[in-house]
Structure 1
Amino acid sequence: MAVKAFTLSQIAWYRTMSDAFRQRGLDADELLVKCGVPIGSTDEMDVNHLSDLFSAMWELAVTLTGDPSIGLTRVVHPLAAFGVVSHMLLSSTNVLAAAKCLARFAALVSPTFAMDVVREDKHYAVSFAISGGRRPVPMQRFDFLASVFLAGAQWITGKRLVPNVMHVPFPEPADAQPWREAYGCPIVFNASSFRGEFNIADFEQPIPTSDPAIADMCVRMTEQAAQDMGDHFTGKVRQLLTRILHKGDPRREQVAEMLCVSERTLQRRLSEEGTSFAELVDAVRRERAERMLARGFLSVTEMACELGFSDPSNFYRACKRWFGLSPSSLRVTQ
Structure 2
Amino acid sequence: MTPRTSSAAWVRGITDMMAAEGLPAAELCAEAGIDLAALQLPQTRVDVDKISRLWELAVARSGKVALGLCPQLTARYGNVDVVGYALASGPNLLVGFQHLTRHMAVISDCTTFALDHDARGYWISIAHIGATRPIPRQRVEYALLTLFTLCCWLTRRELRPLAVELTTPQPAATGEAPYHVAFGMLPRFGQAANRFLLAEADLRADIPTHNPSLWALHERLVETELDHLGQSLTSTRVRTEVARILHRGEPRREDVAARLHLTDRTLQRRLQAESVSYQQLLDDTRCELARQYLSDERRSLAEVADLLGFADQSNLFRACKRWFGLPPGQYRAQVLYPEAEGQGSTQAA
Q: Smaller-chain TM-score range?
A: 0.7 to 0.9
- Asked whether the equivalents of residues 286 and 308 of structure 2 are also in contact (C-alpha less than 8 Å), the reply is no
Q: Distance in 1 between matches of 2:284 and 2:329?
A: 21
Q: Which residue of 2 aligns with 1:128?
A: 126
- Asked whether the equivalents of residues 26 and 36 of structure 2 are also in contact (C-alpha less than 8 Å), the reply is no
Detail structure 1 runs of 4+ shifted over 4 Å in the superposition: 36-40, 319-323, 326-331
- Asked whether the equivalents of residues 126 and 197 of structure 1 are also in contact (C-alpha less than 8 Å), the reply is yes
Shift of 1:119: 0.3
Aligned with 2:64 (options 62, 67, 77): 67
- Asked whether the equivalents of residues 247 and 308 of structure 2 are also in contact (C-alpha less than 8 Å), the reply is yes
- Asked whether the equivalents of residues 129 and 242 of structure 1 are also in contact (C-alpha less than 8 Å), the reply is no
Code of the residue aligned with 2:15 in structure 1: it is S
Shift of 1:96: 1.6
Say if 2:108 is the partner of 1:107.
no
- Asked whether the equivalents of residues 165 and 189 of structure 2 are also in contact (C-alpha less than 8 Å), the reply is yes
Shift of 1:255: 3.1
What whole-Å deviation, never above 9, does each CA across 1:286-324 have from its counterpart, x for those lacking one?
A: 134315x5113x682x44333222344423433555573
Q: Which residue of 2 aligns with 1:281?
A: 285
Q: Distance in 1 between matches of 2:191 and 2:116?
A: 18
Shift of 1:226: 2.0
Q: Which residue of 1 aligns with 2:297?
A: 294
With normalisation by structure 2, the TM-score equals: 0.79
Say if 2:316 is the partner of 1:315.
yes
Q: Distance in 2 between matches of 1:316 and 1:52?
A: 25
Stretches of structure 2 lacking an aligned partner (at least 5 in a row): 337-349
Given the superposition, is the C-alpha separation of residues 119 and 323 from structure 1 closer, same or farther in structure 2, using an over 3 Å criterion?
Answer: farther
Matches within 5 A, 1:241-280: 241-259=242-260, 260=262, 262-269=267-274, 271=276, 276-280=280-284
Q: Which residue of 1 aligns with 2:346?
A: none
Q: Distance in 2 between matches of 1:40 and 1:283?
A: 33
Given the superposition, is the C-alpha separation of residues 64 and 232 from structure 1 closer, same or farther in structure 2, using an over 3 Å criterion?
Answer: farther
Q: Distance in 1 between matches of 2:326 and 2:301?
A: 19
Q: Which residue of 1 aligns with 2:12?
A: 15
Q: Distance in 2 between matches of 1:328 and 1:202?
A: 48
Shift of 1:222: 1.5
Matches within 5 A, 1:1-334: 1=1, 3=2, 10-35=7-32, 41=38, 50-73=47-70, 74-78=73-77, 81-174=79-172, 175-177=174-176, 178-231=178-231, 233=233, 235-259=236-260, 260=262, 262-269=267-274, 271=276, 276-291=280-295, 294-296=297-299, 300=302, 302-319=303-320, 321=322, 322=324, 324-325=326-327
Bigger shift: 84-93 or 247-256?
247-256
Shift of 1:37: 5.7
Given the superposition, is the C-alpha separation of residues 308 and 213 from structure 1 closer, same or farther in structure 2, using an over 3 Å criterion?
Answer: same
Given the superposition, is the C-alpha separation of residues 223 and 55 from structure 1 closer, same or farther in structure 2, using an over 3 Å criterion?
Answer: same
Given the superposition, is the C-alpha separation of residues 103 and 15 from structure 1 closer, same or farther in structure 2, using an over 3 Å criterion?
Answer: farther
Given the superposition, is the C-alpha separation of residues 15 and 82 from structure 1 closer, same or farther in structure 2, using an over 3 Å criterion?
Answer: same
- Asked whether the equivalents of residues 163 and 196 of structure 2 are also in contact (C-alpha less than 8 Å), the reply is yes
Code of the residue aligned with 2:246 in structure 1: it is L
Q: Distance in 1 between matches of 2:292 and 2:132?
A: 10
Bigger shift: 143-152 or 257-266?
257-266
Secondary structure at the counterpart of residue 125 of structure 1? strand
Bigger shift: 195-204 or 140-149?
195-204
- Asked whether the equivalents of residues 267 and 276 of structure 1 are also in contact (C-alpha less than 8 Å), the reply is no
Q: Distance in 2 between matches of 1:127 and 1:270?
A: 32
- Asked whether the equivalents of residues 153 and 160 of structure 1 are also in contact (C-alpha less than 8 Å), the reply is no
What whole-Å deviation, never above 9, does each CA across 1:58-91 have from its counterpart, x for those lacking one?
A: 0011011100111314234356x43332221112
Aligned length: 322
Given the superposition, is the C-alpha separation of residues 133 and 328 from structure 1 closer, same or farther in structure 2, using an over 3 Å criterion?
Answer: closer
Code of the residue aligned with 2:269 in structure 1: it is R
Given the superposition, is the C-alpha separation of residues 12 and 230 from structure 1 closer, same or farther in structure 2, using an over 3 Å criterion?
Answer: farther
Which one has a bigger Cα radius of gyration? 2
What whole-Å deviation, never above 9, does each CA across 1:82-120 have from its counterpart, x for those lacking one?
A: 333222111222222222222220010112211000102
- Asked whether the equivalents of residues 253 and 263 of structure 1 are also in contact (C-alpha less than 8 Å), the reply is no
- Asked whether the equivalents of residues 31 and 60 of structure 1 are also in contact (C-alpha less than 8 Å), the reply is yes
Q: Distance in 2 between matches of 1:96 and 1:114?
A: 17
Q: Distance in 2 between matches of 1:285 and 1:4?
A: 13
Q: Distance in 2 between matches of 1:77 and 1:268?
A: 44
Code of the residue aligned with 1:19 in structure 2: it is D
Code of the residue aligned with 1:13 in structure 2: it is W
Given the superposition, is the C-alpha separation of residues 135 and 232 from structure 1 closer, same or farther in structure 2, using an over 3 Å criterion?
Answer: farther
Stretches of structure 1 lacking an aligned partner (at least 5 in a row): none
